[in-house]
Structures are given as C-alpha cells and as structure tokens.
Chain A
Amino acid sequence: MSPRPGFVLDVDQSTPPTLFWHGERFTLEKLPEGSRVIYAPEPMEALSDPQAAIRHALTHPEGDQEPLPSLLFAGMRLTIAFDDISLPLPPMERPDIRQMVIEQVLDMAAEAGVDDVELIVALALHRRMTEPELRHAVGDRVYDAFAPNGLLTQHDAEDPDNLIYLGQTDHGEDVEINKRAAESDLLIYVNINLVAMDGGHKSVATGLASYKSLRHHHNPATMRKSKSFMDQHKSELHTANWRMGRLIRDSGVKVFQIETTLNTDTFPDGFKFLQKREWEWKAKDRLAYLGASKALDRVPARYARQIFHSVKAPHRMTSVQAGEVEAVHAITTANVWEQQGVIVEGQTDILTMGLPYISPYNVNSILNPILVACLGLGYFFNLYRNKPLVREGGVLIMTHPTPWEFNPVHHPSYIDFFEQVLGETTDANVMSEQYEEGFATDPWYIHLYRTGHAYHGVHPFYMWYWCAHALEHLGAVIIVGGDPKAVHRLGFRAASTLADALEMASDVVGPSPTLTHLHTPPILMADVQ
C-alpha cells in the first residue's frame, strides 16, 4: 500500500486536540473550529537495497559526467567532502547514509589504486564534530582508517594556508574554498538532502568556503530576497551559490556530486505518536503520549534534553543520485518534494507551530533563544513554495520555552550577540553594518572555532539574517510559554497560553482570523496555491 500524501485537516467540533511541540516537551491544544492543520505525508517506501542503489548511482551518473570508476586512477588526488552534524535531523540510526556512500566510494578508489585520499567534513562556519559524532557519520572502519593518519579533517574556514582564492563571480562575489578540495583531481561531495534547500552548488560553495566567500550571500539583503530557501528558483541564496558553483567548476575543480533523500520516518518506537495524526492515535499512542509527557514534566530540562538528543531517527533512504551537480540536484529536489510536499489552498492570518528541541545548529546542545528564532522564522516559516503560509502582515505563533540559556562551548559568540547586539538592535541591517565584522574577526571566537567545538563568531548573525524574510513579512511574532525576558530580547511578544496568544494576535489581524497549524516535525513543505 502506498503511503498517504500530506493532508490539510479542517478542524471541527469532533477534532481531537492537536499536538504542539514545546522544546523538550509537548502539549495538546484545542484549536478553534475552522482552523487548518497541515500534516506531513507518510514516510515513503525506502530503497529496498540501498547498497545496490548507491552502486548504481555511482556507475550510472546523471548529466554530463562519467561513471565514478572511470574517474578514478592510480596516482590521483581524491578528496571526499561530506555534510556535517547539522544533517539529518534528528541524527539517523546507524548506518548513516554518509558511511554507506563513503565506504562504496572508497572501495571503488581502492580498486582503481588510488592511495591519496582525504576526507573533509564540510563545516563551513559550523562547529567541529567530536570523535563520536564523526564515528557515527562515517562509521568506525572509515574513521579508524583515516582519522589517526590525519586524513579525515574538518574544513577550517580560518586557515589561510588551506584556502584558495578562485576569483570573483560576475556579481563581484569572492570565491574562496578549501585548498585541498580545490586542488584535487576529483572532489566527491556526499550530501544528505533533508530538505530542498540542501545540496546543489551550495554543497561546495558554502560547505567548503571561507567567511570572505560566505558573506556575499549570508547577509540580510540576500536572505530577504530568498522566498523561500526551499524554492531554488526564487532563492537569492541559491542563485548566489549557483554563480559561485559555476565559477568553481569553470576554475577547473571537478566535482562529482552525490545526493541522497530520506523518508519522513522521524521518530523511533515509543515516540511514533509524534508523527501520527491525532484522531488516528490508538490506545498505545495515547499511552505513549501520556507516559512521555508525564515523565518529561518531572525531569529537569537538561535531562529531558539528554533524552531527546539520544534519540536516533529511523529515517531511510528513498533515493540516491550522483554525477554532475545541477543534473543531480534537479532529481533530488523533485524527490524531496515528492516526500514532503503538501498542497495548501491559500494563506492564513495566523500560523501556529510547535518548535521541537532540535535545529541544525544544536545537535547535542541547547536550542538557545537565537536558534529558537531561527528555527521558527528561518526554517519552519520558509517551508513553503509559491507563497508563505501566512499572509503578509499576519502573525506567527510559536510554542517553545525559549530559556535564556546557551552552550558556552558550542555557542560562545551567541552569548555576546544575545546580550550585547540584540540588546542594542534587532535590525539585521544595523547589526550587519555595526557589529558583524567585529564578531567575525574576533580572535577568541576564531580560536574557539578552529580548536574547540564552537560555531564561528559570525554565526549568530547568520541565524538572525535567516529570519530576515519572515520578520519583514510578518505583523507580529508571539512565543507561547517562553521566558518573557528572552522573548522580549528577541523583539517578540510573550504569551503564557495559546489562548492568550490568539487574543494578542487579534490585535494585529483583527477578529475572526483564519488559523493554520504547521504540524511538524516530521518535515513537510507547503505548496501554497
């Protein structure tokens, strides 16, 4: 039986309460009659033999590209770059897709007699991964073969000795990327395309780039013109990356792109109720909900966080394609939309969403207030094609505890950004002009990024810029159940209950507004007609 597509439920009297994520907890909320709830499509059938599918993709490439075995030869310099800890979400059960793909690539390289092989984690300005995280991503066999010999490295966007300047695009954008990757005879990039935004030229042009390069598209103007990030053809972020990617290609860097897609099977047994439609909950689901809710209510937030971050998702691969970047990405994007797309008729006055404990930038860490904003306004808001789910001037209501809490190892510059920059301004343009460079060049942040496990000093700015389109579009943002001090620092309004938030929203959108709830995760993307 084929999986059911996504679904838009019209709430009526008989509709049971709807599940809202609230960080490391969740609640059931009774939505007003006439509201809509958007549910993700059910998980697609996974590839029955992923190893065979990978092999087939490598030997039957897309676009103007030769099969991988014919690109490999003894004496060549081969670099394999791969996505970092930010993908997928939650981290997947072993074996990770990266491990499966890299092992096959390495087998082919070995058969061809290639012995100069290096693996690079495409960090961009993200934090360095820990050994357990790397082992999880590439598997013990690959890790033990490469890491001890210094052949598994993490891209360092601040290492002048290992960056190479390739030139400027016709829009004046500097392109500077990892030197080893650029000077290899072949650069293979292994993607996990969780959403339509991932992959394509963005993989190399962003994942292996320096701040000098990234600042050309990670800025308020570009982010405001990306409507949305999930729609490559209407995303200035992607347009800039495509320009850069083509310059990289034209500079002689030979990229063999491998992209993979996942199904929406997001939560393991015991948490399956989180991805079901509430009216279809069985006694087992209700019991699981009650048990989990009660247990989580009784444990301190940090333990609840540990519990959730130990959850590994049972995602399964639904497709793998390899070859020329643009040809591969076109297929990948179609596959992502096939799994995650939901057709939605018309916009709404109020969009509600429950924010979970995790975003791309807090795996094994704290979803601090800036990441709360980014998850809601940068990611969930942008899960659309054509038009935003919420109308211009509408209200976004998010539920999350939004604690004034930061992981000082992972997010040191976030603390200063939150305390100092957001204390002065929430205007992305102002902070970009007045503060960005100071944070980006701060020697302490650079030191922590290069030697510890810290996000780059400029990263919190990017998180805020990520919200720029939503902030420009919306009439108000309300966080339900958040720390009022932290919420106000973000420039948002705080409400203690959903009912209060709806009351507050009516001041902006008027009485009797339309309301739509985005029931995610699992991830879905709204095709708003």
Chain B
Amino acid sequence: MKALVLERNLPRFAASRVASILGSGRGAGIGPLQLLDADAPDRPSDDWYPLRPLLSGICGSDLATLDGRTSRYFEDMVSFPFVPGHEVVGILDDGGVDHAGRPLEPGTRAVIEPVLGCAPRHIHPLCAQCGAGHTGRCGNLASGALSPGLQTGFCTDTGGGWSTAPLIAHASQLHAVPDALSDQDAVMIEPTACAVHAVLSAGVTSGDVVAVIGAGTLGLTTIAALHSVIRPTAPCTVIVGAKHARQRELATTLGADHVVPPDQLSRTVRRQAGSLVLGGRLTEGADVVFDCVGSAASLTEALSLLRPRGRVVLVGMPGKVTVDLAPLWHRELTLVGAYAYGSEASPAPDSPDRRSFELAIDLVGTAGLGRLVSALYPLERYEEALAHAGAAGRRGAVKVAFDLRNPKGRTR
C-alpha cells in the first residue's frame, strides 16, 4: 500500500515554494511530498477504526501547505511526517461506531469529520467548546492521546486520505454515507460542511443582499448552502463574483441570482443594494459578504462591498495579508471567520441542533454536489493531480480528488 507523505524538510519546502510561483501545486515533484509504502497507523484505543479511503479530495489548504504559503500560525498544530487528505470517503472494513454511538456494519461507507478535538484525544472532561458541540473551536489540538494536529490529514498518528492504506478514525469523527450518495457526492461532504457552517454563522436575514467572492469549491458550496439551508427561512439575493465560465455556469445552477465576472461584482452589488458611490466605494452595499478566497485583494473587496455594520465571513483560509481596515472601523463592519464545522442551531424554529456534517450530507444529496468533482487521479499521478487542482478554475475544474479505489486509476 502507498501513501503520500509530507515530511518536515525545509529545503524541499523552499523548492516547492519557488516552484509554486509558476502555479499552485506545481512544486509537488520537488517539494516535501513523497509517495512511500505505508500501512495503517496503530489504533490508540478500541474506539478508533480503520477507514480505507475510496476518494480523497485536494483542498486549498492542502495546496497552501505544499506551496509553503500556509500561515506560521498553524506551525504548532501539525506533526510530521503526516499523510494529507482530510476530505475523505472510505470503507470501514471492520465496521465501527458513529459519532452518535450507533454501530456501523463492516463494509459501511463513511466520511470523517476530521477535526481532532477533545474526544479523539481522550481529553476528559471535554473543553467548553467541544462540550457544546463546537469541535472546530477546540483549543486542545496539541495535547492528549495524539500528536499535534488540527485535523486528520495534518497529524502523524492518524494517517490521511491520500493513501491506499487505511487511516484511523475516532468514533466521534465518523458519519455513515447514505446509499443514495455516490462516492463523488460523499467526498464533497467535508467542504460542504464548511460552507454550511459558514452560512449559518453569517446572520443572514430575510431580504438581505449577500455577495460571494470566489466560486471555487468553497464558493460554490456556499452558494448551495445559502440556497438550500438559509433561503427557506430567510429569502435573500445572492450575488456571485466568479472568474471562470464553468464556475459561473455552476453558480447559476446552484441558485445564485446574479453571477458576474469579478470586475462586475461591485457594480452588481451597488445596483441590488440601491447604493450610491463615494470615492469608488459603496455608501450602502451588501448585508453579508462571504470571502471564499482569503487573499488581501478579496478581503479588501469584501470590506468595500458592505453596507455600514455589514458582515464579512471569511470562508477561504487566509494567510498573512495586508489590508486597510479603515472602512472596517469607519463603517463599523464585522469580520468573522468560519472554520470547519460543529453543532448548528437550525434556522427553522423548534428544530433540534444538528451537526454541520449531517446538514451537509443532506445538502450534497439534494444539490447533487458530486458533480463538482471534476477529475480523479490515482495516487501515482499526484504531481499531475496537484497541478490540476492548483489550476482548477482556469482549467474548468472545481474539485480534484485522488481515486484510491482502482489501482490503475483514471481521470475524467
């Protein structure tokens, strides 16, 4: 069995960073990632189960790590060497138990909720955040029974999805995949859960004008989540700035009201919000902006699109950026992050809280988000796969994933 292993090798990180100037993911062949023989990691206890990956997605955060662009903020939240891959659908060959304590038969397909909070680390009592179900906010990411690692796919003890060898998953991480979902649908559950968490964090209310910057995986799943999770109780106008034609097409089919090239986003928001313009900036604007890119430019734009007291939700993972915060101060804007997932209060009255993952499983099925998986690669062709993922938008793709099911592999 093989796995892509990422080692702490500074010269290789440096080489990868230089190569990434030519394009994200272009340094895979000379970077810190290597294809090695691998076995399933040892299970720390009986409540961990081997999960044999079927498909595992390539996330923007994975590419940022490989490109050496990740913020140093995360340095103490990873442990080397590790096998990347936190967007995983796999098979529980030996069965298991899910997050709610329900038994799972051998051969059950499952996805993992990759955050490694208190429960997987056997930390008791749980911290206040984990106790409330907000596992994404857990601060115990470097203690307990596991090596440091904010998620599976960044921790040396758990393995990761970019492997034909099983990773190990704690019961609290496991969600069975309904039979109706394809493997492609299932591999989209994790990013969709991030989007669900983001839209439920945003405080969107009825009649709001909502802008989405970026229409990659996170942007498109955010649009789908706005449409299916938010709109039933808070009808809102969704405006999307999408760079590429395929992205615009998908954004429209997923429920956006107005899909425009990025240079038209400000004008479209202005018109929808009925705003005036002062010094090139809107006097009114969107109620909420989802920044699904996470760059200095996108954050600057997000701040410029908001009405006074509006809210930017950072969905895309930012790094160290330089942004003029004068409008944030002057217009009393709110800048919030939306990381990972947790327990979500339902927007519908009298409905129980549900895990972001449970909502995402529903959404992936109803919105058919498996269609966002544009290409599958065998592990051996990881250099091509990462280069493709790094240029996904330009090449008309959205999600690129490793296909661990078939040793010969295929692309489409």
- A residues near B (Cβ < 8 Å) are 415-416, 419-420, 423, 438-439, 442-444, 447
B interface size (C-beta, 8 A): 11
- The reply to whether A442 and B268 contact each other, CB–CB distance below 8 Å, is no
Q: How far is the CA of A438 from the CA of B258 in the complex (A)?
A: 15
> Cβ of B260 < 8 Å from any Cβ of A?
yes
What is the chain B residue whose CB lies nearest that of A420? B268
> Cβ of B277 < 8 Å from any Cβ of A?
yes
What is the chain A residue whose CB lies nearest that of B270? A444
Which A-B residue pairs are the 4 nearest by beta carbons? A444-B276, A419-B264, A416-B267, A416-B271
Interface-central residue, B260, B271, B277, by most chain A CB under 10 Å: B271
Please report which residues of chain B, range 262-301, place their CB below 8 angstroms from some CB of chain A when the two chains form the complex. Answer: 264, 267-268, 270-271, 274-277
With beta carbons under 8 angstroms apart, the residue of B258, B274, B276 that contacts A420 is B258
What residues of chain A lie closer than 8 Å to B258, measured between beta carbons? 420
Q: Are A438 and B271 CB-contacts (below 8 A) given A420-B260, A444-B277, A447-B276?
A: yes
Interface-central residue, A423, A442, A444, by most chain B CB under 10 Å: A444
What is the chain A residue whose CB lies nearest that of B276? A444
Q: How far is the CB of A136 from chain B (nearest CB, A)?
A: 30
With beta carbons under 8 angstroms apart, the residue of B264, B267, B268, B276 that contacts A443 is B276
What is the chain B residue whose CB lies nearest that of A444? B276
What residues of chain B lie closer than 8 Å to A419, measured between beta carbons? 260, 264, 267-268
- B residues near A (Cβ < 8 Å) are 258, 260, 264, 267-268, 270-271, 274-277
CB pairs A–B below 8 angstroms (17 shown): A416-B267, A416-B268, A419-B260, A419-B264, A419-B267, A419-B268, A420-B260, A420-B264, A420-B268, A423-B260, A438-B271, A439-B271, A442-B274, A443-B275, A444-B271, A444-B275, A447-B276
Q: How far is the CB of B29 from chain A (nearest CB, A)?
A: 38
Q: How far is the CB of B263 from chain A (nearest CB, A)?
A: 9
What residues of chain B lie closer than 8 Å to A416, measured between beta carbons? 267-268, 271
- The reply to whether A442 and B267 contact each other, CB–CB distance below 8 Å, is no
Besides A444-B274, A444-B275, A444-B276, 7 other CB < 8 A contacts?
Answer: A415-B267, A416-B271, A419-B260, A420-B264, A438-B271, A442-B271, A443-B276
- The reply to whether B271 and A443 contact each other, CB–CB distance below 8 Å, is no
Chain B binding site: helix, strand, loop or mixed by DSSP?
mixed
Q: How far is the CA of A130 from the CA of B187 in the complex (A)?
A: 61
What is the chain B residue whose CB lies nearest that of A424? B258
What residues of chain A lie closer than 8 Å to B260, measured between beta carbons? 419-420, 423
Q: How far is the CA of A415 from the CA of B270 in the complex (A)?
A: 13
Q: How far is the CA of A382 from the CA of B153 in the complex (A)?
A: 69
Chain A binding site: helix, strand, loop or mixed by DSSP?
helix
What residues of chain A lie closer than 8 Å to B274, measured between beta carbons? 442-444
What is the chain B residue whose CB lies nearest that of A435? B271
Q: How far is the CA of A443 from the CA of B272 in the complex (A)?
A: 11
Q: How far is the CB of B273 from chain A (nearest CB, A)?
A: 10
Q: How far is the CB of A158 from chain B (nearest CB, A)?
A: 14
What residues of chain A lie closer than 8 Å to B275, measured between beta carbons? 443-444
What is the chain A residue whose CB lies nearest that of B282? A444
What is the chain A residue whose CB lies nearest that of B275? A444
What residues of chain B lie closer than 8 Å to A442, measured between beta carbons? 271, 274
What residues of chain B lie closer than 8 Å to A444, measured between beta carbons? 270-271, 274-277
What is the chain A residue whose CB lies nearest that of B259? A423
Q: How far is the CA of A439 from the CA of B258 in the complex (A)?
A: 16
Q: How far is the CA of A415 from the CA of B263 in the complex (A)?
A: 12
What residues of chain A lie closer than 8 Å to B264, measured between beta carbons? 419-420
Q: How far is the CB of B237 from chain A (nearest CB, A)?
A: 12
Q: How far is the CB of A256 from chain B (nearest CB, A)?
A: 40
Q: How far is the CA of A447 from the CA of B278 in the complex (A)?
A: 12
Q: How far is the CA of A244 from the CA of B144 in the complex (A)?
A: 84
Q: How far is the CB of B269 from chain A (nearest CB, A)?
A: 11
Q: How far is the CB of B84 from chain A (nearest CB, A)?
A: 40
Q: How far is the CB of B192 from chain A (nearest CB, A)?
A: 28
What residues of chain A lie closer than 8 Å to B267, measured between beta carbons? 415-416, 419-420
Q: How far is the CB of A412 from chain B (nearest CB, A)?
A: 9
Q: How far is the CA of A438 from the CA of B276 in the complex (A)?
A: 14
Q: How far is the CA of A353 from the CA of B260 in the complex (A)?
A: 33
Q: How far is the CA of A13 from the CA of B274 in the complex (A)?
A: 60
What residues of chain B lie closer than 8 Å to A443, measured between beta carbons? 274-276
Q: How far is the CA of A448 from the CA of B268 in the complex (A)?
A: 17
What residues of chain B lie closer than 8 Å to A447, measured between beta carbons? 276
Q: How far is the CA of A419 from the CA of B270 in the complex (A)?
A: 13
What is the chain B residue whose CB lies nearest that of A413? B271
Q: How far is the CA of A442 from the CA of B268 in the complex (A)?
A: 12
What residues of chain B lie closer than 8 Å to A420, measured between beta carbons? 258, 260, 264, 267-268, 271
Q: How far is the CA of A419 from the CA of B268 in the complex (A)?
A: 9
Q: How far is the CB of A87 from chain B (nearest CB, A)?
A: 31
Q: How far is the CB of B244 from chain A (nearest CB, A)?
A: 15
Q: How far is the CA of A423 from the CA of B268 in the complex (A)?
A: 12
What is the chain A residue whose CB lies nearest that of B248? A423
What is the chain B residue whose CB lies nearest that of A441? B274
What is the chain B residue whose CB lies nearest that of A417? B271
What is the chain A residue whose CB lies nearest that of B267? A416
What residues of chain B lie closer than 8 Å to A423, measured between beta carbons? 260
Q: How far is the CB of A210 from chain B (nearest CB, A)?
A: 20
Q: How far is the CA of A447 from the CA of B270 in the complex (A)?
A: 14
Q: How far is the CB of A418 from chain B (nearest CB, A)?
A: 10
Q: How far is the CB of B303 from chain A (nearest CB, A)?
A: 20
Q: How far is the CB of A5 from chain B (nearest CB, A)?
A: 50
Q: How far is the CA of A420 from the CA of B257 in the complex (A)?
A: 11
Q: How far is the CA of A447 from the CA of B274 in the complex (A)?
A: 12
Q: How far is the CA of A131 from the CA of B267 in the complex (A)?
A: 29
What residues of chain A lie closer than 8 Å to B277, measured between beta carbons? 444
Q: How far is the CA of A486 from the CA of B311 in the complex (A)?
A: 36
What residues of chain A lie closer than 8 Å to B270, measured between beta carbons? 444
Q: How far is the CA of A292 from the CA of B275 in the complex (A)?
A: 45
Q: How far is the CA of A152 from the CA of B220 in the complex (A)?
A: 55
Q: How far is the CB of B256 from chain A (nearest CB, A)?
A: 13
Q: How far is the CA of A415 from the CA of B276 in the complex (A)?
A: 16
Q: How far is the CA of A439 from the CA of B267 in the complex (A)?
A: 12
Q: How far is the CB of B261 from chain A (nearest CB, A)?
A: 8
Q: How far is the CA of A423 from the CA of B260 in the complex (A)?
A: 9
Q: How far is the CA of A443 from the CA of B274 in the complex (A)?
A: 6
Q: How far is the CA of A415 from the CA of B260 in the complex (A)?
A: 13
What is the chain B residue whose CB lies nearest that of A415? B267
Q: How far is the CA of A439 from the CA of B272 in the complex (A)?
A: 10
What residues of chain B lie closer than 8 Å to A415, measured between beta carbons? 267
Q: How far is the CB of A14 from chain B (nearest CB, A)?
A: 50
Q: How far is the CA of A415 from the CA of B274 in the complex (A)?
A: 16
What residues of chain B lie closer than 8 Å to A438, measured between beta carbons? 271
Q: How far is the CA of A438 from the CA of B271 in the complex (A)?
A: 8
Q: How far is the CB of A178 from chain B (nearest CB, A)?
A: 26
Q: How far is the CA of A415 from the CA of B277 in the complex (A)?
A: 15
Interface-central residue, A423, A438, A447, by most chain B CB under 10 Å: A423
Q: How far is the CA of A49 from the CA of B128 in the complex (A)?
A: 96
Q: How far is the CB of A408 from chain B (nearest CB, A)?
A: 10
What is the chain B residue whose CB lies nearest that of A447? B276
What is the chain A residue whose CB lies nearest that of B277? A444
Q: How far is the CA of A442 from the CA of B271 in the complex (A)?
A: 7
